[in-house]
Structure 1
Amino acid sequence: MPSPENQAALRRKRLVGLTRPWLLLAPALIVLAGLLLWPLIQVGKLSMEDYEVKFGGGVGTFTGLDHYTDLLSSSLLWKTVLPNTLFFAVACVGLTVALGTAVALLLQRLGPVWRLICSISILSAWAMPAVTGTYVWIWLFQPQDGMFSQLAGALGMIDPATTNWFTERIPFYAIATLNVVHHGFPFVAITVFAGLLTIPKELYEAGMLDGANAWQRFWKITVPTIKPVFLVVTILSTIWDFKVFTQIFLMPGGSGSNPDVYNLGVYSYIQAFAKNDYGTGAASAVLLTLLLLAITVVYIRTLFKQGEEDL
């Protein structure tokens, strides 16, 4: 049996082992709490108040869950805002991952020089600010004199003088999807390409000897081998695309004049800053945060589950 002195030393060692990691993480956790946790607390508090801006500050009157009740009973939320948010995110994620994977497979087949040229070209799209990219797409689809309007008019598909791509829900979000996918696919391409470099060539050679074609090698070798990479890019893209704001808000009608194209982020902004209904705007932001937290939990659990399966 250990002596009392040895027992005390073991307890001190265990205490140091438990507290040292938290002491090392403390500065970063304090910064994150100040930058993320405190604003979240304030938004949650604001969502349960009727907040009135006054000179020199503001006054909030506690209303409980009234704003959440009004929000969740709104037909605009269920018929327009949430469907726009959900279907737009699903379309963007699917197309972004598919295009990024196709480009990664192309990079894998190219020689060093062309691979470098293509990598720099696609990264320029990723480096472009979202504001700049959005205005480029607006210019391309500008009514009457936009390049795509002129092209569609020349093919007899539309009348450029009377067609406005931004007034209808589906064309509006089709353009927004092109914008988001164009901006997001380079991240997927470079990440998946890095994963492809880790796959031993012997696996593909064995597949070819077994008579597997390119499509079969992709699904039977590539996808299972770098499945964690696909999980990461898919769920991160989902998180990013659920909270898209800039690309929607800057497009004609997206800043509030056309309620049919609201997504959850824009709806929250319009309620808070255009209508001065800060409580409903904050409640919408909390709802979006809860959706993103749910996605994040799925992301973390999936990664841990994948890690356990690999052990």
Structure 2
Amino acid sequence: MAEHNSNSPAVDNAAPVESESGGSVIELLERIGSIVLPVGVALYAVLYIGVEEMYAVFGISPQQAGIDQSVLFGRLTGTLVLVLLLGIPLVGLVVGLGWLLDKVTLGMAGRVVRGVRERPWVIALVAALWCGATYWGFFNFFGDLDLTVMVVIAVVLGVLAFLIPFRLLRRKPVGRAGMKVLIGSLTGLGLGFVLILQMANGAVEVQETGKANLLLSTVGFQDQWAVLKNADDDKPLYDGRWMMLLGESEGTYLFYDCDKMATMRIPMDHANLSDLQLDPEREKGFTCGSLA
């Protein structure tokens, strides 16, 4: 009986430790979710615009290429997964470098970070400048701006539009949580507009060189080529030139004629596809437009 009483305090003391450990894990997951979720949602919303811009280079819409909402959702979800897979090691690298810096400076870096976090105006200023910088892709989407101009715009926009609201939000836990969601959303939107620019530039590159880059392949753009043949006599059409298949919709194929740099529509019952190739190799220096 005495042994039972002597062991009971140990059991009682272990319970709070387990509860505290579980609570810290849940809190960590909530913190990660409060940042990752708004970034992902905002990025997905903006990437849809990027897909439209990508196909607009060829004079068509995603719907005309047979890409409906379900197909687009699957492709963009895959893109978000890849972004997440690349982002996790990057975050781990930053954390590791921060830990190493703290060790090298004998804890000085950690004390500086803690000191900065205790100053709400400094945190609000950093967050405001970051949110201002997220508008870089947005402004470049509508016009090519100089780097100096963009820095000035980011600083002015951040200070005027975000500094005071962020300082006020830092006063309460609910405000700090809302601040994280807002920063995460703007980060996702900013990253999305940067990807839009890259996708549009990649589509122009395909139009000029007939070769898709890795980013376009990631968002589901198929670099697929075929030779068209007459459905009646199986003779090659367009002198047997290779055509890039952009998609199919409502009984119509959509092709890009690299040699003439033109988009064409052909009824499915008028042409057969032969010699299909995905991501074909191009000779060095190849460009489209030889017959344009």
Aligning the two structures, in what range does the TM-score lie when normalised by the shorter sequence?
Answer: under 0.3
Larger proportion of helix: 1
Normalising by structure 1, we get a TM-score of 0.25
Richer in strand (by share): 2
* TM-score, with structure 2 as normaliser: 0.26
Look at both structures and tell me which one has the larger radius of gyration over its CA atoms: 2
